[in-house]
A and B are shown apart, each in its own frame.
Chain A
Amino acid sequence: MAETDRQVPPAWNAVGRHGVFPEASHDEIARFNFLTNLNMHLASRVLPGVRKAYESRVENGSAPANRREVGELLKREPTYQLWSSLRRNTMEMRQQNSRAMVFRQLPELVEKARQLNRDSNKLQLDASVEIPRYVSAVDTHCMPGSYHTEYCEDDIAAGANYDSGIFVTTAGMLGRYSDGGGQALVEWLREEAKSGFRPKRILDIGCTVGHNIVPLAQAFPESEIVAIDVSAPVLRYAHARARSLGIDNITFRQENAEAIAAEDGSFDLIITSMFLHETSSRALPRILAETHRLLADGGKAIHIEQPQFTPEMPPYEQFMRDWDTRNNNEPFWGTLHDLDLFEAMEKAGFARENITTRGLFAVVDETLFPSAAKAAEDSEDYGRKPAWHTYIASK
C-alpha cells in the first residue's frame, strides 16, 4: 500500500518581504507554521467528520429544509462543536501572533512607512472621512480594532497585521505576496485584451493593503490606478508597500465607496475583491450605483466574491459557508450571499444582458506553492480556498 502524498503548506519563510513588512523572529515564524498546518488539518481531517456527523443525524431524522435547520442539528453535535471552537481559536491565535510581532516593532515600522510615504502625492488621506458603521461596529475576522483603529501618529499597525496574518488563514494559497486574486485579475485582463478591452483608468474599491491592485499596476504600468479605502492605517501601509515594490502608478485615497469624488465615466475598469461582503444592505446599492456612474461607456466592473446561496446549493453547504457570519465576525456575509447580485447590479443601472458571472482561481507560483495548485482542484473549505465567483457588469 502506497503512502499518502500529504500536501504540506509552504513555510511562512516563503512570504514575500517588502519595505514595511514586519520582521519575524524564528519563533514568530514557527507560530505561523503551526497555525497554517492546524488550519489545513481542520479543513482536511476534521471538516469531513462534521459532514459525516450531519449525514448520520439526517439518516436518523428528517432532512433539514434550510440552513437554519442544519444549524439546529449541528449545534448539538460534538464534532461540529469542536471543529467550530478550534476554527475560531485559529483566527484568534492568528491575530494575537501577528499583533505581538507588529506591536513589538511598531515604532520602527511607522518610521519605515514615513520614509516611504514622504513627499508623495500618491497617498491622499482625508481625516474628515467618517468610518462607516460596517467597519467600526465589528472587528472583522476577529481583528481587534478592525481596519481603521490608529494606535499612534502615522500608524500602520492594522495594515501590517492584516498583511502578515493573511498567509496563515489562506495556508499560503494566495502566494508570496498574498496577491493570487490580483494575479488572477491580470490573467483575466490579458484574455479580455484579445477582444479589445484595455482599460487605461482603473479604480479599486476597498483596497486595504493593496494586495489585489499591485499585480495590475505591475502588469500594466501604463495604466492609471486609483485605490480607495476608508481606513488610514491600511492606506499608509498600502502606499509604502506599493512604493517599496517599485510601483508608482497607484494613487491611494481615503474615501467612502458610497460617494466617490470622481467624475462620471472616468474609469474603464472598477474592481472590488472580497469587499462587498464587508459592507451593508444600505451601502451596497450606493456602492454599485457609484460603479455605474463612474464607468465610462464600454467599461467593466468586476466583483470578486464567493458563490451566492441559491436554492440549488444544498442547505448543508449554505450553513457551512455562512459560518463566518456569526463566528468569524463577518456580519454581512450571509445577507450578501442571499442577495441576487444580478438584480442589485441591474438596479444600479446595468442592463441585465450585460452582467455575467465566472469562476476565478488564484494564480500563484506552483513550484513554491504546490499545495495551492492542488487545493484549487480537489478540496472544499467553504469560503477559504482560493477560488471565487466573479460578477462582471459591462456598461
Chain B
Amino acid sequence: MTFDPIDMAGNKARGKRPVFFKDTDTDRLLSILMAVAGELAVARERVDTLERLLEARGILERAEIEGYEPDTAAARERGLWHQEFIARILRVIQQEIEQFDEDREAQQQARKENVSATTELEELIEELATS
C-alpha cells in the first residue's frame, strides 16, 4: 500500500465548507492563522520539554524529548501557558466582549446623567471639550 500521510491528513470532509464571514477570504485567512498559531504552540511546548530535561539531567538526547511525560504540576503549568497564549492571540475578541459591558454601562450612565451614551472616543473628546 502506498500512502501520502501528509496529503491524507489534510483531506477535506465531504460537503461544502460553511462560510461565516462576509468575505470568504477572512474565513480562509483565519484557518491559516490558527494553523500557524497551533504550530507555534507546538514549538513552544517542545522548547519547554527541552528546558525541563536540561534542567533535570544536564544532558540532552532527542529520544528523551520524544518520551517526556509532564507530571501533574508541569502539565498544569503547560495548560496555563496554552491558555495565556490563546488569550493573547484572541485578545481582540475578549475586548469586543468587554465592549458589550462598556456599552451597557454607558447607556445606564447616559440615562442617569443625561450624557452621551456612546463609547466612541471622538464623541467623548467633543463632549469633554464642550462641557
What are the residues of chain B within 8 A of A25 when measuring CB–CB?
A: 66
Question: Of the candidates B26, B65, B100, which one forms a contact with A56 in the assembled complex, judged by CB atoms under 8 Å apart?
Answer: B100
Q: State whether A139 touches B5 (Cβ < 8 A).
A: no
Interface range on chain B: under 10, 10 to 19, 20 to 34, or 35 or more? Answer: 35 or more
Tally of A-B residue pairs with Cβ under 8 A?
A: 164
| Most A CB within 10 A of own CB, among B1, B13, B49 | B13
Main secondary structure of the interface of B (DSSP, over half): helix
Chain A nearest CB, measured from B90 CB (Å): 7
Task: List A21-56 residues whose CB lies under 8 Å from chain B.
Answer: 25-27, 30-31, 33-38, 40-41, 45-46, 48-49, 52-53, 55-56
Chain A nearest CB, measured from B80 CB (Å): 6
Closest to B86 in A: A41
Q: State whether B100 touches A106 (Cβ < 8 A).
A: no
What are the residues of chain A within 8 A of B34 when measuring CB–CB?
A: 38, 86, 89-90, 93
Chain A nearest CB, measured from B88 CB (Å): 11
For the complex of A and B, 9 pairs with smallest distance between CB atoms: A8-B79, A49-B97, A37-B82, A100-B9, A103-B5, A139-B13, A30-B45, A34-B41, A11-B75
Which residues of B are in contact with A by a Cβ distance under 8 Å? 1, 3, 5-6, 8-15, 17-18, 20-21, 26-27, 30-31, 34-35, 37-38, 41-42, 45-46, 49, 65-66, 68-70, 75-76, 78-80, 82-83, 86-87, 90, 93-94, 96-97, 100-101, 103-104
Which residues of A are in contact with B by a Cβ distance under 8 Å? 6, 8-11, 13-14, 25-27, 30-31, 33-38, 40-41, 45-46, 48-49, 52-53, 55-56, 75, 78-86, 88-90, 92-93, 95-97, 99-100, 103-104, 106-107, 137-139, 142-146, 151-153, 326-327, 329
